[in-house]
């Protein structure tokens, strides 16, 4: 594929700094995008703010029509979009091809449900003092939402957040990762090609561009590392604007002695190696009850050894792709090297392979909780396995981390699995599966502890988070126009009103207690 020079993102003049986008397998430049500075970001956000009012006025149904057109455009361009995505990530075709259908699923779900999720809510009076009024809670969008995304899912990550934000009635400034911006730029191209209102803008660039977005928008939805998330939270606090943070993880898998070991080995391998381990919810450490440890490790190693790695093209021929860039490969290599130096053993994999940023799918044993491969987020194709005496030790070690994104529990006893889930300090637990919660749009997707603040998705909450609640009161009828608490109190009226209110509240209390 020829390199893409992105002109759609504003006017590309000769003065503007460009960033190279490289194919991780061979280092080839596959595109160039502008590294937007604060002035371009501020101007773009001003234009978005101006366009947002008419977008909000369309209502959820009207906005859903535009999102439906975007979905159709995505499906019409699916194969080309998957090519672009592969060119900047070197994902296997089977993994890259998941991203367009995934966004379409998000569009279908939220466009169908937005009118109900955003409908005004009639609220009952809490007691006699609020009885004279009709009460409503109304969901009004933040004018401009800034969506900042990482490189691991270049289409799906932006899609997860821009779809509900747009449907909520907000305009969106999207700042994709500088490592993989081409797919996000395609989203903006699609939005323009369908002729939609100018309420989606893609602002390419590095960290400073993201910081400029944080400095100008009304709500920040950030996905990325915990380190950057802390910076974003500090900047948001200074401006007193809210932020949602989806950050790093170190997700444990607990394999109990009563698990179906064949199933557990295949599931843990997939959970650890999908997208070459570059998933926030990846299985990053495995605790196995002692009686089945040897059997499980043998099966897991066999599964991992059977996987094919390489650059795929359109062939659906490989299972594991490359890491996003050299820096990421260096982290993975450091974690493995440090573990081995401290006494761990590599059962399969363990080193960089081929050209570019490939790292062999790796199983590590004899690891302990002092090692970086167990304490730090690796975000690569490594699976460290630890033997534990029992369920209690597994839970204690699983919780011994600063992170709290998700976990998986592998057992034939579902009730036991659910009991253990309630002891784990994480935002999601999959029983006999890994990563699955990510595909369930009706469930909240958020991290505890250093893994984030707030959550995305989760039915109505996933769209209402991009709105501010507005309280509206109105008289029930003309005879109740004059509120009894109004100034000025006429002579004697203050005493009468306060006695009356006291009596009403007391009567209300008695009635409630009688029930
Ligand atoms: P990163 O934090 O380096 O960058 C994320 C985004 O933030 C990029 O677009 C980057 O340009 C931008 N950025 C950098 N500095 C900024 C600043 N000061 N202000 C605003 N924006 C700034 O993360 P990454 O390396 O691209 O992605 C990998 C990380 O993302 C991993 O830690 C992974 O766990 C996490 N992640 C989390 C989830 C989740 O849902 N919890 C999902 C995917 C990835």
| 367 vs 371: CA distance, rounded Å | 7
Nearest CA to ligand 1 atom 34: 248
- Backbone φ, ψ for residue 98 (5° rounding): -80, -20
Residue 207 near ligand 1, beta carbon < 6 Å: yes
Whose alpha carbon is nearest atom 18 of ligand 1? 211
* Pocket mutation for ligand 1, best pick of 149, 179, 224 (most atoms within 8 Å of C-beta): 224
| Ligand 1 closest atom vs CA 213 | 20
Q: How far apart are the first and last CA of the chain?
A: 73
Does the CB atom of residue 303 touch ligand 1 within 6 A?
Answer: no
Any ligand 1 atom below 6 A from CB of 74: no
Q: Does residue 300 line the site of ligand 1, with CB under 6 A? A: no
Spacing, Cα 245 to ligand 1 middle (Å): 10
- Element (DSSP H or E) covering residue 332: helix 326-341
For ligand 1, say whether the CB of 178 is within 6 Å of any of its atoms: yes
Q: What is the pLDDT of residue 133?
A: 87
Instruction: Write down the pLDDT at residue 8.
Output: 42
User: C-alpha angle 334/245/433, rounded to 5°?
Assistant: 65
150 CB within 6 A, ligand 1: yes
Residue 177 near ligand 1, beta carbon < 6 Å: yes
CA 334 to CA 89: how far, in whole Å?
A: 22
CA torsion through residues 359, 361, 367, 368, sign: positive
406: Cβ below 6 Å to ligand 1? Answer: no
The preferred substitution site among 227, 228, 324, 326 for testing ligand 1, maximizing ligand atoms within 8 Å of CB, is: 228
The per-residue pLDDT string of the chain (515 residues; one tens digit each, 9 = 90 and over) reads 555 555 444 444 445 799 999 999 999 999 999 999 999 999 999 999 999 999 999 999 999 999 999 999 999 999 999 999 999 999 999 999 999 999 999 999 999 999 999 999 999 998 877 888 899 999 999 999 999 999 999 999 999 999 999 999 999 999 999 999 999 999 999 999 999 999 999 999 999 999 999 999 999 999 999 999 999 999 999 999 999 999 999 999 999 999 999 999 999 999 999 999 999 999 999 999 999 999 999 999 999 999 999 998 899 999 999 999 999 999 999 999 999 999 999 999 999 998 899 999 999 999 999 999 999 999 999 999 999 999 999 999 999 999 999 999 999 999 999 999 999 999 999 999 999 999 999 999 999 999 999 999 999 999 999 999 999 999 887 665 566 666 555 667 777 778 888 888 888 777 766 65
Full-model pTM = 0.95
The alpha carbon dihedral of 227, 274, 285, 332 has a sign of negative
How many Å lie between the centroid of ligand 1 and the Cα of residue 273?
Answer: 20
Q: How far is the CA of 499 from the centre of ligand 1 (A)?
A: 59
- Atom 13 (ligand 1) nearest CA: 207
pLDDT reported for residue 144 = 99
**Measuring CA to CA, how many Å separate 265 from each of 257, 385, 424?**
13, 11, 21
Beta pairing class for 29-34 and 4-5: parallel
474: helix, coil or strand?
Answer: strand
Q: Assess whether the C-beta atom of 454 lies below 6 angstroms from ligand 1.
A: no
SS (H, E, C) 385-420: EEEECCHHHHHHHHCCCCEECEEEEECCCHHHHHHH
Phi/psi of residue 155, each to 5°? -105, -45
Instruction: Using DSSP bridges, classify how beta strands 251-255 and 406-410 pair: parallel, antiparallel or unpaired.
Output: parallel
DSSP 334-362: HHHHHHHHTT-EEEE--SB-SSTT-B--E
Separation of CA 146 and ligand 1 centre (Å): 14
CA distance 350 to 336: 7
- 147 DSSP β-pair partners: 174, 221
**What residue owns the CA closest to ligand 1's atom 12?**
207
What is the torsion angle, in degrees rounded to the nearest 10, for the CA atoms of residue 298, residue 303, residue 304 and residue 308? 150
Q: How far apart are CA 277 and CA 224, in angstroms?
A: 15
Residue 265 burial (10 A CB sphere; 0-12, 13-18, 19+): buried
Instruction: Tell which residue, 63, 72, 235, has the closest CA to residue 165.
Output: 63
- Among residues 343, 336, 347, the alpha carbon closest in space to that of 299 is found at 347
Angle at 315 between CA 80 and CA 319, to 5 degrees: 110
d(CA 515, CA 497) in angstroms, rounded, equals 27
Q: Which of 179, 225, 245, 403 to mutate to test the pocket of ligand 1 (most atoms within 8 A of CB)?
A: 225
What is the position in ligand 1's atom list of the atom closest to the CA of 178? 11
Answer whether 151 contacts ligand 1 (Cβ < 6 A).
Answer: yes
The number of angstroms, rounded, from the C-alpha of 148 to the middle of its chain's C-alpha atoms is 10
For β-strands 467-475 and 251-255, DSSP reports them as unpaired
What backbone torsions phi and psi does residue 373 show, to the nearest 5 degrees?
Answer: -70, -15
228 Cα: distance to centroid of ligand 1 (angstroms): 6
Closest Cα to atom 11 of ligand 1: 207
Residue 149 CA to ligand 1 centre (angstroms)? 6
Write b or e for each residue in 363-399: b if 16 or more Cβ atoms lie within 10 A of its Cβ, otherwise e: bbbbbeeebbbbbbbbbbbbbbbbbbeebebbbebbe
Strand, coil or helix: 284: strand
User: Is residue 210 lining ligand 1, measured as CB closer than 6 Å?
Assistant: yes
User: Given CA atoms 310, 318, 428, 154 in this order, what sign does their dihedral have?
Assistant: positive
What positions carry a catalytic annotation? 246, 280
CA 307 to centroid of ligand 1, rounded, Å: 28
Cβ–ligand 1 contact at 154 (below 6 Å): no
CB 182 within 8 A of CB 31: yes
């Amino acid at each position: 594929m020829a390199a893409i020079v992105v002109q759609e993102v504003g006017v590309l003049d000769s003065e503007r700094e460009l960033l190279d986008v490289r194919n991780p397998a061979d280092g080839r430049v596959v595109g160039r995008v502008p590294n937007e500075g604060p002035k371009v970001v501020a101007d773009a956000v001003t234009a978005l703010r101006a366009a947002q009012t008419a977008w909000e006025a369309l209502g959820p149904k009207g906005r859903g029509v535009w999102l439906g057109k975007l979905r159709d455009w995505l499906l019409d361009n699916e194969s080309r979009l998957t090519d672009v995505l592969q060119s900047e990530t070197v994902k296997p075709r089977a993994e890259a091809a998941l991203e367009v259908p995934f966004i379409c699923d998000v569009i279908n779900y939220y466009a169908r449900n937005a009118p109900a999720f955003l409908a005004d809510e009639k609220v009952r009076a809490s007691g006699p003092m609020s009885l004279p009024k009709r009460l409503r809670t109304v969901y009004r969008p933040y004018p401009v939402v800034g969506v900042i995304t990482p490189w691991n899912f270049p289409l799906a990550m932006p899609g997860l957040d821009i779809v509900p934000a747009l449907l909520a009635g907000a305009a969106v400034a999207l700042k994709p990762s500088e490592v993989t911006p081409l797919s996000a730029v395609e989203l903006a191209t699609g939005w323009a090609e369908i002729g939609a209102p100018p309420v989606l803008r893609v602002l390419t660039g590095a960290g400073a561009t993201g910081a400029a977005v944080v400095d100008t928008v009304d709500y920040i939805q950030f996905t990325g590392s915990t380190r950057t998330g802390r910076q974003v939270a500090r900047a948001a606090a200074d401006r007193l604007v809210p932020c949602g943070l989806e950050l790093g993880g170190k997700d444990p898998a607990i394999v109990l002695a009563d698990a179906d070991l064949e199933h557990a080995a295949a599931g843990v391998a997939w959970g650890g190696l999908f997208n070459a381990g570059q998933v926030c919810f990846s299985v990053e450490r495995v605790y196995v009850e002692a009686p089945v440890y040897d059997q499980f490790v043998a099966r897991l190693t066999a599964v991992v050894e059977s996987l094919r790695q390489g650059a795929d093209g359109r062939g659906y021929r490989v299972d594991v792709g490359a890491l996003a860039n050299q820096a990421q490969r260096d982290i993975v290599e450091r974690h493995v090297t440090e573990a081995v130096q401290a006494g761990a053993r590599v059962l399969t994999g363990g080193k960089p392979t081929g050209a570019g940023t490939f790292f062999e799918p790796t199983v590590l044993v004899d690891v302990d909780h002092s090692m970086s491969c167990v304490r730090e987020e690796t975000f690569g194709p490594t699976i460290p396995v630890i033997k534990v005496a029992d369920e209690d030790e597994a839970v204690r070690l699983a919780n011994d981390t600063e992170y709290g994104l998700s976990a998986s529990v592998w057992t034939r006893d579902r009730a036991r699995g659910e009991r253990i889930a309630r002891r784990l300090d994480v935002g999601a637990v999959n029983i006999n599966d890994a990563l699955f919660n990510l595909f369930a749009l009706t469930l909240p997707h958020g991290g505890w502890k250093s893994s984030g603040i707030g959550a995305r998705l989760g039915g109505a909450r996933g769209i209402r988070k991009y709105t501010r609640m507005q309280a509206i009161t109105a008289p029930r009828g003309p005879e109740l126009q004059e509120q009894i608490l109004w100034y000025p109190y006429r002579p004697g009226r203050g005493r009468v009103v306060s006695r009356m209110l006291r009596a009403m509240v007391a009567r209300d209390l008695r009635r409630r207690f009688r029930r």
